[in-house]
Structure 1
């Protein structure tokens, strides 16, 4: 191999290396986006299956108790009605 061919080979390898460095982040981003899309699709399918299987179930199985503020407000309202 003479000097001209060696310089051409080094130049070509350098250009290909720079091209790989420029394209690599885009390829990684596309792969990441596809993975996220697949996970979202799987979550939607699981959610749809879960909703179809549990349509009659209420949002919470434990009973709710009014807060202190509700008790206080109800007492104040009843006192107002009685005094009028």
Structure 2
């Protein structure tokens, strides 16, 4: 039983140490995906639907 608790403790400490890094990596991947999606040109139907709006700066 002691051996099991030792393994469980090591696994828990590993998860606690690795979790912030894994969450940050997942967040970076999500942001990268959003940036790639924003860089793509809009689809043709969206351009046609929005073509009557005039953009001014």
Fold equivalence (TM over 0.5): yes
5+ unaligned residues in a row in structure 2: which ranges? 48-53
Task: State how far apart, in whole Å, the 2-side matches of 1:10 and 1:60 are.
Answer: 66
Q: Secondary structure at the match of 1:60?
A: coil
5+ unaligned residues in a row in structure 1: which ranges? 1-5, 62-84
Q: What are the equivalent positions in structure 2 for 1:20-31 lying under 5 Å apart?
A: 20-31=15-26
Q: What are the equivalent positions in structure 2 for 1:1-84 lying under 5 Å apart?
A: 6-46=1-41, 49=42, 60=56
Q: Which runs of 4+ in 1 moved over 6 A?
A: none
Task: State how far apart, in whole Å, the 1-side matches of 2:37 and 2:31 are.
Answer: 10
Task: State how far apart, in whole Å, the 2-side matches of 1:34 and 1:27 are.
Answer: 11
Task: State how far apart, in whole Å, the 1-side matches of 2:26 and 2:56 are.
Answer: 39
Q: Which has the larger radius of gyration?
A: 1
Per the TM alignment, residue 60 of structure 1 is displaced from its structure 2 partner at its CA by 2.2
